[in-house]
């Protein structure tokens, strides 16, 4: 955004500057020029108006050649063979041809002979800019500002913008601050945008906040929303929770049908640990715009966390139909179990993970569901299968296999499973205790 708009601003000014050359006018009052200079310029301007820049350049170079080598700046040149206006006009011809190095050389001669030649400084800045020498362009825009009695604030702004283009953020900020101090009434909102970009790029977001607030208040429509969003983002990034929450609430009140504000409010509430408020905001958001898969999962997670598993179930299932995901499946199973629907949970597990044999977590989950449903023989078999897959779950899997077999009245299978569980430190005490109990119950 910065580069595009800065380039646009410079291009507009360049067209204005080139109007001097195209219209056939000298930047300096012709009455103050030596007669030979006035004569050659009167011959060159018609050529420039016809866009015959090559012949114009030939005429100017031939005129300079008549005067011999260029004398040092500040020495006598009564006939003006190397007058600043000759170099300025020569630079214009080169610039209009897109010959930037030659334009830079000509304009540089013009300003060395007349440091107060504002238009030469401006066109030198343009030549540097179009050659992508942004720092040099900035220097020349600043010199143009300083060389003019009127002190045009736009020139200082362009110097700051060019420094921003050059990635020289500190220098850009310094120029913007100089501009604000010298011409506070002339500063346009768009200029403040570039100051904000410079401050953010320089990692000075708190210094940028006042300008972001001003822009959010000044603009209307889409641009206002853009800067409101930037302000909200900065509040969140800076940990200014109270300001972020206040702004998000204000935005939802003023524009209740704008989905992005409800989404922002939901995330701010979520970051603050207010899950119920976050859920309420996200539900309103879901009424205003279709949810992405990630947003649907978040809505489901919040519903589950605040104790509304019935709301979470269809959202998780929708996510799983779009993309199989083990974590989402586990949460769906948990939601169903919260509803007392282990049968439905088992059906969904078989549907979305029909072959869980290589995944001990899913095997354990399936066995637990079978245990919930009192299908103890099947549960014991699945627990044993899970125990045979390497992992930290093995001890618990053997322990649960023992319990399932015990419930199924298969005492021998239970003894074997508890004996295997006793080999694991975490389950040893419990397994041995159950084995003693089984021993006393044995016929």
Residue 51 has pLDDT above 70, yes or no: yes
Residue 192 has pLDDT above 80, yes or no: yes
Whole-model pTM?
0.80
pLDDT of the residue at 27: 62
Cα–Cα dist 142/121, whole Å: 9
pLDDT at position 12 over 70: no
Q: CB of 381 within 8 A of CB of 410?
A: no
Q: How many CB atoms lie within 10 A of CB 21?
A: 25
71-85, 117-131, 283-297, 414-428: range with lowest mean pLDDT:
71-85
Task: Give the pLDDT of residue 397.
Answer: 95
In terms of Cα–Cα distance, which of 330, 324, 317, 399 is closest to 361? Answer: 330
Would you say residue 17 has pLDDT above 60?
Answer: no
Contacts 24+ apart (CB under 8 A), 249-256: 252/281
Are 323 and 293 within 8 A, CB to CB?
yes
| Lowest mean pLDDT segment, chosen from 20-29, 152-161, 313-322, 335-344 | 20-29
Give the confidence band of 438 by pLDDT, cuts at 50, 70, 90. confident
The pLDDT > 70 percentage for the chain reads 92
- Average pLDDT value for residue range 238-265: 97
User: Is pLDDT at 26 greater than 70 in this prediction?
Assistant: no
**Of 11-25, 218-232, 259-273, the least confident:** 11-25
Question: For residue 76, what pLDDT band results from cuts at 50, 70 and 90?
Answer: confident
Residue pair 192/208 in contact (Cβ under 8 Å)? The answer is: no
DSSP for 208-273, please give it: HHHHHHHHHHH--HHHHHHHHHHHHHHHHHTT-HHHHHHHHHHHHHH-TT-HHHHHHHHHHHHHTT
Q: Which of 90, 129, 132 has the alpha carbon at shortest distance from 107?
A: 90
Please choose, from the candidates 64, 28, 22, the residue with its C-alpha nearest in 3D space to the C-alpha of residue 45.
Answer: 22
Is residue 6 over pLDDT 50? Answer: no
DSSP code for 34:
-
Q: Closest Cα to residue 385, out of 367, 406, 410, 405? A: 367
């Amino acid at each position: 955004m910065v580069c595009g708009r800065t380039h646009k601003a410079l291009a507009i000014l360049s067209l204005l500057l080139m109007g001097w050359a195209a219209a056939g006018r000298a930047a300096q009052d012709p009455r103050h020029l030596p007669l030979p200079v006035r004569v050659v310029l009167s011959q060159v301007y018609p050529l420039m108006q016809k866009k015959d820049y090559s012949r114009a350049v030939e005429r100017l170079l031939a005129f300079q050649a008549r005067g011999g080598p260029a004398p040092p700046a500040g020495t006598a040149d009564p006939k003006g063979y190397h007058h600043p206006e000759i170099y300025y006009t020569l630079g214009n011809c080169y610039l209009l041809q897109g010959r930037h190095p030659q334009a830079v050389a000509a304009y540089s001669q013009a300003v060395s002979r007349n440091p107060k030649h504002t238009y030469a400084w401006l066109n030198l800045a343009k030549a540097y800019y179009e050659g992508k020498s942004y720092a040099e362009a900035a220097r020349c825009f600043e010199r143009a500002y300083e060389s003019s009695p009127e002190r045009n604030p736009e020139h200082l702004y362009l110097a700051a913008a060019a420094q921003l283009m050059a990635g020289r953020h500190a220098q850009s900020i310094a120029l913007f601050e100089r501009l604000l101090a010298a011409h506070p009434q002339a500063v346009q909102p768009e200029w403040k945008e570039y100051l904000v970009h410079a401050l953010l790029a320089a990692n000075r977001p708190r210094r940028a906040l006042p300008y972001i607030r001003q822009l959010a208040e000044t603009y209307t429509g889409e641009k206002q929303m853009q800067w409101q969003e930037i302000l909200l983002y900065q509040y969140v990034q800076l940990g200014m929770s109270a300001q972020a929450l206040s702004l998000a609430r204000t935005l939802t009140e003023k524009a209740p049908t704008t989905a992005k504000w409800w989404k922002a409010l939901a995330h701010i509430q979520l970051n603050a640990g207010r899950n119920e408020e976050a859920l309420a905001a996200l539900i309103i958001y879901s009424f205003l715009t279709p949810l992405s898969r990630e947003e649907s999962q978040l809505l489901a997670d919040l519903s589950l966390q605040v104790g509304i598993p019935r709301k979470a179930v269809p959202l998780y299932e929708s996510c799983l139909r779009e993309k199989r995901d083990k974590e989402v499946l586990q949460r769906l199973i948990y939601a169903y179990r919260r509803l007392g629907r282990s049968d439905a949970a088992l059906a969904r597990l078989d549907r979305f993970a029909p072959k869980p044999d290589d995944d001990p977590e899913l095997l354990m989950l399936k066995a637990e569901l079978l245990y919930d449903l009192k299908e103890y023989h099947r549960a014991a078999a699945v627990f044993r299968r899970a125990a045979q897959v390497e992992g930290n779950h093995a001890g618990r899997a053997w322990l649960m296999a023992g319990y399932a077999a015990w419930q199924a009245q298969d005492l021998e299978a239970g003894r074997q499973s508890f004996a295997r569980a006793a080999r694991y430190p975490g389950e040893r005490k419990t397994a041995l205790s159950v084995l003693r109990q089984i021993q006393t119950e044995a016929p």
